[in-house]
Structure 1
Amino acid sequence: MNYNDIAWLPVCGGLTAVGLVLTYLAFRRRGAAAGLRAAAWSLLPLAAYLTGAQATLWNIGTAAVRFVTGLVLSPLAWAGVAVAGLSAVLFVVSGAMRGRSLSRARTPRPGAAEAAPAAAPKAETPKKVPTAKTAPRQVEQPAADDFSEIEDILKRRGIG
């Protein structure tokens, strides 16, 4: 069947008429919002005919049908689908492997901490641990001062 063999006005007009009947039912059963949405969908076939868009829709439909029938009936196409699937699996596996290697690099292993000083001795400086006498006193601030830090940051940025 060819595009020019079809009388498009009766087809599009008929689809619009059937859609408008269903629109009436939608108005009665589900309310105005559903009815208006159904009316919008119902008018699309007639709009496609009047604008000439049905020719483009016909070409898209026939191309999709040719692609699917060529895919289903062609062993070469199935080989291409298999290669695409293999590619997708390789992407997923490589992403998982990369994620593991990045997480290993971020977190030190328990054995690595013991082996590191033997491999490369470092001069570590002793850190002072604050005691009750040397630790700075933390004074609880009232709730109104909770925003003072934020206000300071905003002022430094020129905001506010």
Structure 2
Amino acid sequence: MLAETICSAAAVAGLGIAGITAYRKRYLAAARIAAYSLVPLGLVMIGAVDWIAGTAFSPVAWVGFGVLGGAWLLFSSTRAVERRRGGRKETTGGAEPRAVAPAASSPSRAAAPKPQAGQSTGQPAGEDFSDIEAILKKHGI
């Protein structure tokens, strides 16, 4: 009963503000304010306020909100773990993960041997462009 009274009072106050706005010849704003102020009155008339008030004071409804929150927490945590793994799917039975493009060549992951202190690689830094040339030739550039 109290919720209906508050919503009705808010609607009347909003219509009053819309009337003052229309008096100031701002009809578009007055129509918008009137539309917003009629929403709580419409909710009272269809009985949605009773339903919302009944839900707010129902322990079963709050447990339901808790279950929904737990489901959201599980969903978001699994998404975070999935992002952390880089989108890899968990493989079972020791199977290798599938390549995205199996025909494409991949760069070698083996590290080149590092020269000892005092040894030179024989090539000045920045002079070895053979890898870049091979890539450009492969793409026809």
Same fold, judged at TM 0.5 (above)? no
How does the TM-score come out when normalised to structure 2? Answer: 0.44
> Where is the helix percentage greater, Structure 1 or Structure 2?
1
TM-score (normalizing by structure 1): 0.40
> Which of 1 and 2 has higher RCO (CA within 8 Å, sep 6+)?
2
